[in-house]
Amino acid sequence: MGRPVKSSRFGSTAGDFEVTGAFSTEAIQPDGSNAETVSTESGNFIVAQRSSTRFKVNFLSSDGSTRLIQILDLKPVAPGSLTAGQFCLQIILDDSTVAYASKIFNNTVHYKEAGGTTGSTKYSLSSEGADEGGDADGVGQIDTI
């Protein structure tokens, strides 16, 4: 693994990574009502890094009843394509292209676009909306809480 991400970028405070989508490792929702599905609620966040693709993630269960903390695999897919035990982070590239992170290091993110194009770029953390116009500085924007 390359240099890990600074632990100060993880947590539930403003300016920390926000998880775009998370899929629990559990088969049934905590209330027992249905099968677990993807959680795309605002406020889902990374707690700690295990490797460049495995992270401890705090997220709201898809039924909205419980906050879960699980070790999930980072996958470069849209939230609707996630399977159990996976999560995704959306990144807006400098040309306003939407991509999903495949690996995260301290200053660099490897990504995959919807068309299958892969690459890497430096990243910055910014709030939702501030990243929508992209930036011409060659830096990708990852959403924050």
Residue 37 above 70 pLDDT? yes
pLDDT band with cut points at 50, 70 and 90 for residue 141? very high
Q: How many CB atoms lie within 10 A of CB 49?
A: 22
- Going by the DSSP 8-state scheme, the letter that residue 136 receives in this structure is T
> What is the reported pTM?
0.88
Residue 103 above 90 pLDDT? yes
Reading phi first (left if > 0) and then psi (alpha if -120 to 50, else beta), residue 32 is in left
pLDDT of residue 137: 72
First to last CA, the chain: 26
For the chain, give percent helix, strand, coil, nearest 5.
5, 45, 50
pLDDT of residue 1: 59
